[in-house]
Structure 1
Amino acid sequence: METVRSIRAVALVCVVGTALAALYAATAAVTAWVPSYGFVVQALIHCAELAGLIGLALSGAAGAGLLGRIGLGGAGLGQVLLVAAELIYPGSPDVGDQLFAVAPLLSAVGMVLAGVAVLRAGHWTGWRRTAPLLVGLWSIVVLTPAIIISGGPPAPAALWAIAGWELTWLLLGVAVLTGTGATARIKEARASA
């Protein structure tokens, strides 16, 4: 029961953090307001995304297979590198750019693999099953092309794509928050069988 509380706590961090992040990105897209401390805010946003990923990993929704472990590990490493990139960039743009070249792709591919593992494991039903996959696909299909074509933030197209990406993370957080009880019941049933 304590694990379920922990999972729900990190999922709630993800939900609140990514909801605020989507609002932050949309506000920046409309007003072109980018605070001087934006890199700290963005690092905290990636921490909220990482919280959702941790909740997903702890929930067991990706199953116990190698695909899920590789996906969750890759996505986790990508998110940690995104936090580092945000914090390093202001003082060392070259190193920050190198991290930004690798981290989003690592996170996206990891989320696609984790998403496939969630689908295969079958612990979640309905829309929850697709939430992790949606995070990875949005990053590959929408976010990365928008950033490349627009030149990245503060271009409005990039910021709107980022706002959409944050909404996919928000959905993941809600999926973890609401799907945790079902996953725990499945685990208990399998353990007692």
Structure 2
Amino acid sequence: MTALTASRTTVPFARVAGVTTIAAAVVGFLGALWLLGVAMLGTPAVSPDTFSYPLDVAGNAVAQVLFFLNHVGLAVGLVALARGPAATRAPGRVGAWIALASMVVLAICELWAISYADATLSSGATGALDSWYGLGSIVVGAGLVVAGIGVARTRYWAGWRRWIVLVTGASLFVVVVPGLAFGFIGGRVVLAAWMIAWAGVGLALLTGVGRRDSA
């Protein structure tokens, strides 16, 4: 299948996936701002040592469902990337599928986290969940880096589109992971920033698939 044929067969889905990815990124961004607002400007319902901080059990359930939808939406974008002409080189497709599988793991973790709302972090009760969150996040980032290299080599996209997948993957390691070391506030800030990069991936899918950009 040529890139042109692939683009014709995947354009409708890619555009839907682009919009879905942007919407998911907005949900993730606003979710992070919501938690920041409650923690910094509102009255947290629980102590910082409680897993659901700064929300109560009900609020935590709402937040986790929103973040589940966030991950599902981003996963849709990864499906479009894996199937589309922008990542026809082997590293691109392999990386996108790896990132997709790990994004599904993270989506499951978001629902799993609902059951730990009352757990105290110091007790170690969330150890297994934390491990899956960490592993899933790292593999998503690694998959995006590999996919981004494939996209850059394919040269179906030009300009910022050619690099946005690689930047999104690399930013997990150079921005998100270091930011998480600064605690709850720092973590929400860098996760919100990461969602901006994801919105860029969605915009690239929306506007870049179906035509070969000029260099």
TM-score higher than 0.5: yes
1:44 is aligned, of 65, 69, 72, to: 69
TM normalised by structure 1 equals 0.85
Letter in 1 for 2:103: Q
Q: Which of 169, 177, 186 does residue 206 from structure 2 map onto?
A: 177
Find 1:144's aligned residue among 174, 177, 185.
Answer: 177
CA distance in 2, matches of 1:63, 1:3: 13
SS in 1 for 2:156: coil
Residue 155 of structure 2: which of 122, 125, 131 is its match? 122
* Superposition deviation, residue 24 in structure 1: 2.1
| CA distances 1:64-90 after superposition (whole Å, capped 9, x unpaired) | 42x123211211111011011111233
* Correspondences of 1:21-170 after superposition (within 5 Å): 21-32=28-39, 34=55, 35-37=59-61, 38-65=63-90, 67-91=91-115, 93-147=126-180, 149-151=181-183, 155-170=184-199
Q: Name the count of aligned residue pairs.
A: 180
Aligned partners of 2:65 and 2:203: how far apart in 1?
25
SS of the residue corresponding to residue 114 of structure 2 reads: coil
User: For the residues of structure 1 that align with 2:93 and 2:208, how far apart are their CA atoms?
Assistant: 19
Instruction: Give the C-alpha shift of residue 2 in structure 1.
Output: 5.2
The answer for the alignment partner of 1:17 in structure 2 is 24
Q: Partner amino acid for 2:19?
A: L
Q: Distance in 1 between matches of 2:101 and 2:204?
A: 21
Shift of 1:30: 3.0
Equivalent residue number for residue 189 of structure 1: none
Structure 1 pair 16/88, CA: closer, same or farther in 2 (3 Å)?
Answer: same
**As a proportion of its length, which structure holds more helix?**
1
Contact residue 28 and residue 195 of structure 2 kept, 8 A: yes
Q: Distance in 2 between matches of 1:54 and 1:91?
A: 29
C-alpha distance after superposition, 1:12-40 (max 9, x if no partner): 11111212321221232233264222111
Alignment CA distance shift 1:91-1:26 (3 Å): closer
Q: Kindly, what percent of the aligned residue pairs are identical?
A: 28
| Mapped partners of 1:53, 1:5: distance in 2 | 15
**3-state secondary structure, aligned to 2:211:** helix
**Structure 2 unaligned blocks of 5 or more:** 1-7, 40-53, 117-125
User: Counterpart of 1:113 in structure 2: which amino acid?
Assistant: V
Task: Determine the C-alpha separation between the residues in 1 that align with 2:82 and 2:93.
Answer: 8
| Conservation of the 8 A alpha-carbon contact between 1:61 and 1:124 | yes
Q: Could you state the TM-score of these two structures normalised by the residue count of structure 2? A: 0.77
Deviation at 1:105, TM superposition (A): 0.4
**Do 1:88 and 1:95's aligned partners in 2 also have CA atoms closer than 8 Å?**
no
